[in-house]
Amino acid sequence: MMLRKPVFAANWKMNHGPTDAKAFLRTFLVHYARRADRTVAFFPPALTLPAVTDALRDRSDILVGVQNIHWEPKGAFTGEVSAPIARDAGARLVLVGHSERRHIFGETDEQTGLKCAAVAAAGLVPVLCVGEKLDERERGMEEAVVVRQLRAGVARLQPGQIATALVAYEPVWAIGTGRTASPNDASAMHAVVRRVLKELAGERAAHIPVLYGGSVSRGNVAELISAPEVDGVLVGGASLDADGWATIVRA
Ligand code: 13P
């Protein structure tokens, strides 16, 4: 029995406005019929979210989320979007602690913990992103970094809330570089993630999907998702083209 069905998640980052998104989904939906054996999710820019939820109104099988939120539910935080606002706009998932948030915008471990708690409090599902930088791997610190990020990200969640979250392992050196982790390296780190999740959430942790991200393409997706412990993929660049993405989700 398959405990966790594979998740194929598209992180569009700062790409595709509402007009592009509508055209993308017209093409994508022709090529991707509903399938019970996998989950597909889109993370468009926040302003594109309504166009995506509208285009997917007859496709409740496809999930939609936002790429970031502020941890406060509302208030004087110019430029920010809260979890309740994201939920009201149709989001069901929220990426938390993506490496670009951490390393370009200075997001801290503490903030990822606050954000995951805010996401769960709003009734949404956090997708906590963790991953080491190249120099950290070169110094043999990859496990310590990932475990630290993981523990901090879920620190304010109850075990039951942890059990409904998703985790994405995205080594920073593999993001947008064309250099993927080998299926063995991904599996090894996913096993570490699962061990920590089990310690924190007990047997329920067996249901938490742990995704891999970093230069996933139509050429390597099948090999990656068949690796032990890899429960799906979080894809940036290769999710931007509708035909290419339809090929990936059918892997
Ligand atoms: P790429 O697939 O472009 O390497 O990006 C990965 C990523 O950051 C997904 O969140």
Q: Whole-prediction pTM value?
A: 0.97
Instruction: Say how far apart CA 41 and CA 8 lie, in whole Å.
Output: 6
CB neighbour burial string for 22-46, b if at least 16 within 10 angstroms, e if fewer: eebbeebbeebeeeeebbbbbbbbb
Q: What pLDDT, on the 0 to 100 scale, is given for residue 3? A: 64
pLDDT digit string, tens, across residues 106-153: 999 999 999 999 999 999 999 999 999 999 999 999 999 999 999 999
Side chain identity at 239, as an amino acid letter?
S
Residues of the chain with pLDDT under 70: 1-3
- Residue with the smallest CA separation from ligand 1 atom 2 is 236
pLDDT of residue 1: 35
Please identify, by atom number, the ligand 1 atom nearest to the C-alpha of residue 178: 4
> DSSP labels for 49-109?
HHHHHHHTTT-TTEEEEES--BSSSSSS-TT--BHHHHHHTT--EEEES-HHHHHHS---H
pLDDT of 14 reads 98
Return the active site residues. 98, 170
CA triple 39-43-46, angle to 5 deg = 145
Q: Which one of 7, 8, 13 would you pick to mutate in the ligand 1 pocket, going by the greatest count of ligand atoms within 8 A of its CB?
A: 13
Q: How far is Cα 197 from Cα 191, in angstroms, rounded to an integer? A: 10
Q: How far from 70 is each of 79, 119, 146, CA to CA, in Å?
A: 10, 9, 22
Query: By the 8 A CB rule, do 157 and 111 touch?
Result: no
User: How many Å apart are CA 228 and CA 184, to the nearest integer?
Assistant: 8
The domains found in the chain, sorted by start residue, are 7-249 (3.20.20.70)
Query: Distance, CA 235 to ligand 1 centroid (Å)?
Result: 5
Q: Which residues line ligand 1 (CB under 6 A)?
A: 11, 98, 170, 175-176, 213-216, 234-238
Mutate to test the pocket of ligand 1, among 15, 98, 133, 170 (most ligand atoms within 8 A of CB): 170
